[in-house]
Structure 1
Amino acid sequence: MLAHFGESDGGVMAFRLLRDAMERRDADDVEMALIVHAAADASVEEFLEPLIELFPAEWHREHEDIVSMLGRLRSPQTVPTLVLATRWVPEYLDWDENRALAVKAIWALGAIPGPEAREALEGLRDDEDEIIRENAVKQLARRGGL
Protein backbone atom coordinates (compact mmCIF):
# COMPACT_ATOMS: atom_id res chain seq x y z
CA MET A 1 0.00 0.00 0.00
CA LEU A 2 2.81 2.44 0.85
CA ALA A 3 4.34 2.08 -2.62
CA HIS A 4 1.04 3.26 -4.10
CA PHE A 5 1.62 6.58 -2.33
CA GLY A 6 5.33 6.71 -3.14
CA GLU A 7 6.27 5.94 0.46
CA SER A 8 8.34 3.20 2.02
CA ASP A 9 7.89 4.12 5.70
CA GLY A 10 4.39 4.19 7.18
CA GLY A 11 5.50 6.26 10.17
CA VAL A 12 6.95 8.96 7.93
CA MET A 13 3.80 8.96 5.83
CA ALA A 14 1.58 9.21 8.93
CA PHE A 15 3.66 12.10 10.27
CA ARG A 16 3.41 13.96 6.95
CA LEU A 17 -0.35 13.31 6.79
CA LEU A 18 -0.82 14.52 10.37
CA ARG A 19 1.11 17.75 9.82
CA ASP A 20 -0.79 18.41 6.59
CA ALA A 21 -4.15 17.73 8.28
CA MET A 22 -3.23 20.07 11.13
CA GLU A 23 -2.29 22.86 8.74
CA ARG A 24 -5.63 22.47 6.94
CA ARG A 25 -7.57 21.84 10.17
CA ASP A 26 -9.09 18.75 8.60
CA ALA A 27 -10.58 16.47 11.27
CA ASP A 28 -11.13 13.54 8.90
CA ASP A 29 -7.51 13.61 7.78
CA VAL A 30 -6.27 13.78 11.38
CA GLU A 31 -8.23 10.60 12.02
CA MET A 32 -6.77 9.02 8.87
CA ALA A 33 -3.21 9.99 9.84
CA LEU A 34 -3.64 8.34 13.24
CA ILE A 35 -5.05 5.22 11.58
CA VAL A 36 -2.05 5.09 9.21
CA HIS A 37 0.24 5.54 12.21
CA ALA A 38 -1.38 2.63 14.03
CA ALA A 39 -1.41 0.41 10.92
CA ALA A 40 2.29 1.11 10.37
CA ASP A 41 2.99 0.21 14.00
CA ALA A 42 5.15 3.33 14.01
CA SER A 43 6.94 4.81 16.97
CA VAL A 44 5.10 7.54 18.87
CA GLU A 45 8.21 9.51 19.88
CA GLU A 46 8.42 11.61 16.71
CA PHE A 47 4.72 12.44 17.09
CA LEU A 48 5.17 13.98 20.54
CA GLU A 49 5.24 17.66 19.53
CA PRO A 50 2.41 17.55 16.98
CA LEU A 51 0.21 15.56 19.37
CA ILE A 52 0.79 18.05 22.18
CA GLU A 53 0.01 20.87 19.76
CA LEU A 54 -3.08 19.13 18.40
CA PHE A 55 -4.65 18.02 21.68
CA PRO A 56 -6.37 21.29 22.72
CA ALA A 57 -7.73 22.01 19.22
CA GLU A 58 -11.51 21.86 19.20
CA TRP A 59 -11.90 21.21 15.47
CA HIS A 60 -11.15 17.45 15.65
CA ARG A 61 -12.44 14.46 17.64
CA GLU A 62 -9.26 12.50 18.32
CA HIS A 63 -8.60 13.65 21.88
CA GLU A 64 -8.90 10.18 23.42
CA ASP A 65 -6.57 8.66 20.83
CA ILE A 66 -4.07 11.45 21.42
CA VAL A 67 -4.14 10.86 25.18
CA SER A 68 -3.61 7.13 24.59
CA MET A 69 -0.65 7.82 22.32
CA LEU A 70 0.87 10.28 24.78
CA GLY A 71 0.37 7.72 27.53
CA ARG A 72 2.42 5.16 25.63
CA LEU A 73 5.35 7.57 25.61
CA ARG A 74 5.56 7.73 29.42
CA SER A 75 7.36 11.05 29.03
CA PRO A 76 7.40 13.89 31.56
CA GLN A 77 6.98 16.23 28.57
CA THR A 78 3.39 15.00 28.23
CA VAL A 79 2.36 15.87 31.81
CA PRO A 80 0.91 19.35 31.10
CA THR A 81 -1.18 18.03 28.20
CA LEU A 82 -2.40 15.06 30.22
CA VAL A 83 -3.36 17.36 33.11
CA LEU A 84 -5.28 19.52 30.63
CA ALA A 85 -7.11 16.36 29.52
CA THR A 86 -8.33 15.89 33.10
CA ARG A 87 -9.75 19.41 33.34
CA TRP A 88 -11.02 20.23 29.85
CA VAL A 89 -13.95 18.42 28.23
CA PRO A 90 -14.32 18.89 24.48
CA GLU A 91 -17.87 19.81 23.55
CA TYR A 92 -18.50 16.53 21.72
CA LEU A 93 -17.65 14.61 24.94
CA ASP A 94 -19.81 16.75 27.21
CA TRP A 95 -22.32 13.89 27.53
CA ASP A 96 -19.73 11.53 29.07
CA GLU A 97 -20.45 11.48 32.80
CA ASN A 98 -17.79 8.79 33.26
CA ARG A 99 -15.08 11.22 32.10
CA ALA A 100 -13.31 8.59 29.96
CA LEU A 101 -10.88 11.15 28.53
CA ALA A 102 -9.85 12.31 32.00
CA VAL A 103 -9.54 8.76 33.31
CA LYS A 104 -7.28 7.78 30.38
CA ALA A 105 -5.14 10.83 31.11
CA ILE A 106 -4.89 10.00 34.82
CA TRP A 107 -3.85 6.42 34.09
CA ALA A 108 -1.27 7.75 31.63
CA LEU A 109 0.04 10.07 34.36
CA GLY A 110 0.25 7.09 36.69
CA ALA A 111 2.61 5.33 34.28
CA ILE A 112 5.01 8.26 33.88
CA PRO A 113 8.05 8.07 36.14
CA GLY A 114 9.33 11.10 37.98
CA PRO A 115 8.18 13.95 40.16
CA GLU A 116 6.23 15.87 37.49
CA ALA A 117 3.61 13.15 37.09
CA ARG A 118 3.48 12.44 40.83
CA GLU A 119 2.88 16.13 41.58
CA ALA A 120 0.16 16.28 38.93
CA LEU A 121 -1.59 13.28 40.48
CA GLU A 122 -1.26 14.78 43.95
CA GLY A 123 -2.95 17.93 42.65
CA LEU A 124 -5.77 15.87 41.15
CA ARG A 125 -6.27 13.98 44.41
CA ASP A 126 -8.22 16.99 45.73
CA ASP A 127 -10.23 17.70 42.57
CA GLU A 128 -13.91 18.57 42.99
CA ASP A 129 -14.88 15.77 40.57
CA GLU A 130 -15.19 12.42 42.36
CA ILE A 131 -14.09 10.42 39.29
CA ILE A 132 -10.93 12.51 38.99
CA ARG A 133 -10.18 12.18 42.71
CA GLU A 134 -10.74 8.42 42.84
CA ASN A 135 -8.58 7.71 39.81
CA ALA A 136 -5.80 10.00 41.00
CA VAL A 137 -5.79 8.22 44.38
CA LYS A 138 -5.67 4.81 42.63
CA GLN A 139 -2.71 5.88 40.52
CA LEU A 140 -0.85 7.34 43.48
CA ALA A 141 -1.42 4.10 45.38
CA ARG A 142 -0.19 2.09 42.40
CA ARG A 143 2.95 4.22 42.33
CA GLY A 144 3.38 3.82 46.08
CA GLY A 145 2.66 7.50 46.59
CA LEU A 146 0.00 7.50 49.27
Structure 2
Amino acid sequence: MTPEEQDLIMDLAVGLGDGPTRTLDEVLAHFGESDGGALALRLFQDAMERQDADDVEMALIVHGAADASVEEFLELLIELFPAEWHRGHEDIVSMLGTLHSPRTVPTLVLATRWVPEHLDFDDCRALAVKAIWALGGIPGPEAREALEGLRDAENEIIRENAVKQLARRRRAATG
Protein backbone atom coordinates (compact mmCIF):
# COMPACT_ATOMS: atom_id res chain seq x y z
CA MET A 1 0.00 0.00 0.00
CA THR A 2 1.32 3.40 -0.87
CA PRO A 3 1.77 6.15 1.72
CA GLU A 4 -1.00 8.08 -0.06
CA GLU A 5 -3.38 5.12 0.32
CA GLN A 6 -2.47 4.84 4.00
CA ASP A 7 -3.22 8.56 4.42
CA LEU A 8 -6.56 8.06 2.67
CA ILE A 9 -7.47 5.25 5.09
CA MET A 10 -6.19 7.20 8.08
CA ASP A 11 -8.68 9.90 7.13
CA LEU A 12 -11.41 7.38 8.05
CA ALA A 13 -10.15 7.24 11.62
CA VAL A 14 -11.56 9.54 14.24
CA GLY A 15 -8.76 11.73 15.53
CA LEU A 16 -8.42 13.55 18.81
CA GLY A 17 -9.95 16.74 17.47
CA ASP A 18 -12.02 16.33 14.37
CA GLY A 19 -13.97 13.36 13.15
CA PRO A 20 -13.18 11.43 9.98
CA THR A 21 -12.31 13.59 6.98
CA ARG A 22 -13.11 10.87 4.41
CA THR A 23 -16.06 8.61 3.92
CA LEU A 24 -15.87 4.88 3.51
CA ASP A 25 -17.39 5.29 0.04
CA GLU A 26 -14.46 7.49 -0.99
CA VAL A 27 -11.97 4.89 0.21
CA LEU A 28 -13.89 2.06 -1.44
CA ALA A 29 -13.99 3.96 -4.74
CA HIS A 30 -10.23 4.52 -4.62
CA PHE A 31 -9.59 0.79 -4.11
CA GLY A 32 -12.20 -0.29 -6.66
CA GLU A 33 -14.36 -2.06 -4.07
CA SER A 34 -18.02 -1.74 -3.22
CA ASP A 35 -17.93 -3.58 0.11
CA GLY A 36 -15.89 -2.47 3.13
CA GLY A 37 -15.64 -5.99 4.53
CA ALA A 38 -14.23 -7.26 1.25
CA LEU A 39 -11.68 -4.44 1.18
CA ALA A 40 -10.68 -5.09 4.80
CA LEU A 41 -10.23 -8.79 4.02
CA ARG A 42 -8.09 -7.99 0.98
CA LEU A 43 -5.98 -5.55 3.02
CA PHE A 44 -5.51 -8.05 5.86
CA GLN A 45 -4.46 -10.80 3.46
CA ASP A 46 -2.03 -8.51 1.65
CA ALA A 47 -0.57 -7.22 4.94
CA MET A 48 -0.09 -10.77 6.19
CA GLU A 49 1.56 -11.89 2.97
CA ARG A 50 4.01 -8.98 3.12
CA GLN A 51 4.21 -8.92 6.95
CA ASP A 52 3.47 -5.21 6.95
CA ALA A 53 2.51 -3.90 10.39
CA ASP A 54 1.29 -0.54 9.08
CA ASP A 55 -1.04 -2.21 6.63
CA VAL A 56 -2.52 -4.39 9.40
CA GLU A 57 -3.47 -1.13 11.10
CA MET A 58 -5.01 0.13 7.86
CA ALA A 59 -7.02 -3.09 7.52
CA LEU A 60 -8.23 -2.70 11.11
CA ILE A 61 -9.36 0.87 10.37
CA VAL A 62 -11.24 -0.17 7.23
CA HIS A 63 -12.82 -3.10 9.08
CA GLY A 64 -14.03 -0.77 11.83
CA ALA A 65 -15.26 1.91 9.43
CA ALA A 66 -17.16 -0.70 7.44
CA ASP A 67 -18.65 -2.15 10.63
CA ALA A 68 -17.88 -5.51 9.03
CA SER A 69 -18.77 -8.78 10.67
CA VAL A 70 -15.94 -10.26 12.71
CA GLU A 71 -17.19 -13.81 12.16
CA GLU A 72 -15.97 -13.93 8.56
CA PHE A 73 -12.51 -12.80 9.75
CA LEU A 74 -12.23 -15.38 12.55
CA GLU A 75 -9.66 -17.73 11.00
CA LEU A 76 -7.59 -14.86 9.65
CA LEU A 77 -7.53 -13.12 13.06
CA ILE A 78 -6.58 -16.35 14.84
CA GLU A 79 -3.72 -16.81 12.37
CA LEU A 80 -2.63 -13.17 12.60
CA PHE A 81 -2.73 -12.81 16.39
CA PRO A 82 0.54 -14.57 17.35
CA ALA A 83 2.63 -12.91 14.66
CA GLU A 84 5.34 -10.72 16.23
CA TRP A 85 5.71 -8.41 13.24
CA HIS A 86 2.52 -6.34 13.77
CA ARG A 87 1.06 -4.17 16.55
CA GLY A 88 -2.63 -5.08 16.30
CA HIS A 89 -2.75 -7.66 19.09
CA GLU A 90 -5.06 -5.71 21.39
CA ASP A 91 -7.44 -4.86 18.56
CA ILE A 92 -7.53 -8.50 17.48
CA VAL A 93 -8.34 -9.67 21.01
CA SER A 94 -11.10 -7.06 21.24
CA MET A 95 -12.54 -8.21 17.92
CA LEU A 96 -12.41 -11.88 18.94
CA GLY A 97 -14.10 -10.97 22.20
CA THR A 98 -17.15 -9.71 20.34
CA LEU A 99 -17.79 -13.17 18.93
CA HIS A 100 -18.29 -15.00 22.25
CA SER A 101 -17.11 -18.10 20.40
CA PRO A 102 -15.47 -21.15 21.97
CA ARG A 103 -13.29 -21.28 18.83
CA THR A 104 -11.46 -18.19 20.11
CA VAL A 105 -10.50 -19.69 23.48
CA PRO A 106 -6.99 -20.97 22.53
CA THR A 107 -6.05 -17.59 21.04
CA LEU A 108 -7.44 -15.69 24.02
CA VAL A 109 -5.56 -17.96 26.43
CA LEU A 110 -2.37 -17.29 24.47
CA ALA A 111 -3.07 -13.56 24.88
CA THR A 112 -3.04 -14.02 28.67
CA ARG A 113 0.35 -15.73 28.67
CA TRP A 114 2.30 -14.02 25.92
CA VAL A 115 3.43 -10.40 25.83
CA PRO A 116 4.36 -9.17 22.35
CA GLU A 117 7.59 -7.18 22.31
CA HIS A 118 5.80 -3.92 21.50
CA LEU A 119 3.68 -4.31 24.69
CA ASP A 120 6.56 -5.27 26.95
CA PHE A 121 6.31 -1.89 28.72
CA ASP A 122 2.72 -2.56 29.88
CA ASP A 123 2.87 -3.62 33.53
CA CYS A 124 -0.94 -3.45 33.67
CA ARG A 125 -1.14 -6.32 31.17
CA ALA A 126 -3.97 -4.71 29.17
CA LEU A 127 -3.78 -7.38 26.47
CA ALA A 128 -4.20 -10.16 29.02
CA VAL A 129 -7.02 -8.32 30.79
CA LYS A 130 -8.89 -7.84 27.50
CA ALA A 131 -8.46 -11.54 26.76
CA ILE A 132 -9.70 -12.54 30.22
CA TRP A 133 -12.79 -10.36 29.88
CA ALA A 134 -13.39 -11.88 26.43
CA LEU A 135 -13.09 -15.37 27.96
CA GLY A 136 -15.60 -14.33 30.61
CA GLY A 137 -18.16 -13.64 27.90
CA ILE A 138 -17.83 -16.99 26.16
CA PRO A 139 -20.36 -19.61 27.21
CA GLY A 140 -19.36 -23.19 27.79
CA PRO A 141 -16.80 -25.27 29.59
CA GLU A 142 -13.76 -24.36 27.45
CA ALA A 143 -13.78 -20.73 28.55
CA ARG A 144 -14.62 -21.59 32.17
CA GLU A 145 -11.74 -24.09 32.32
CA ALA A 146 -9.38 -21.53 30.79
CA LEU A 147 -10.36 -18.98 33.44
CA GLU A 148 -10.00 -21.57 36.20
CA GLY A 149 -6.49 -22.26 34.93
CA LEU A 150 -5.68 -18.56 35.23
CA ARG A 151 -6.73 -18.36 38.89
CA ASP A 152 -3.29 -19.60 39.86
CA ALA A 153 -1.33 -17.40 37.47
CA GLU A 154 1.89 -15.88 38.78
CA ASN A 155 0.79 -12.41 37.76
CA GLU A 156 -1.60 -10.79 40.27
CA ILE A 157 -3.49 -8.81 37.61
CA ILE A 158 -4.20 -11.96 35.63
CA ARG A 159 -5.25 -13.86 38.77
CA GLU A 160 -7.59 -11.11 39.97
CA ASN A 161 -9.26 -10.66 36.61
CA ALA A 162 -9.75 -14.39 36.16
CA VAL A 163 -11.38 -14.62 39.59
CA LYS A 164 -13.65 -11.65 38.75
CA GLN A 165 -14.72 -13.24 35.49
CA LEU A 166 -15.42 -16.58 37.13
CA ALA A 167 -17.56 -14.81 39.75
CA ARG A 168 -19.39 -12.90 37.02
CA ARG A 169 -20.10 -16.14 35.16
CA ARG A 170 -21.45 -17.73 38.36
CA ARG A 171 -23.73 -14.75 39.01
CA ALA A 172 -25.00 -14.84 35.43
CA ALA A 173 -25.67 -18.59 35.68
CA THR A 174 -27.65 -18.27 38.92
CA GLY A 175 -29.47 -15.32 38.08
* TM-score, normalization by structure 2: 0.81
Q: CA deviation at 1:96?
A: 0.7
Aligned residues: 145
Which residue of the other structure, out of 50, 63, 79, is the alignment partner of 1:53? 79
Does 2:75 correspond to 1:42?
Answer: no
Q: Identity over the aligned pairs, expressed in percent?
A: 85
Find the counterpart in structure 2 of residue 139 from structure 1.
165
Q: CA deviation at 1:46?
A: 0.7
4+ long deviations beyond 2 Å: none
Q: CA deviation at 1:92?
A: 1.2
Find the counterpart in structure 1 of residue 136 from structure 2.
110
Find the counterpart in structure 1 of residue 50 from structure 2.
24
Q: CA deviation at 1:6?
A: 1.3
Q: CA RMSD in A?
A: 0.8
Which residue of the other structure, out of 107, 115, 122, is the alignment partner of 1:89? 115
Unaligned runs of 5+ in 1: none
Alpha-carbon separation, structure 2, partners of 1:71 and 1:15: 19
Output the amino acid matched with 2:53.
A
Alpha-carbon separation, structure 1, partners of 2:32 and 2:103: 33
Find the counterpart in structure 1 of residue 10 from structure 2.
none
Does 2:30 correspond to 1:4?
Answer: yes
Instruction: Specify the SS of the correspondent of 1:144.
Output: helix
Does 2:93 correspond to 1:67?
Answer: yes
Q: For each residue in 1:66-118, what CA deviation from the matched residue of structure 2 results, as whole angstroms up to 9, or x when unmatched?
A: 00000001110000000000000011111111000000000000000111000
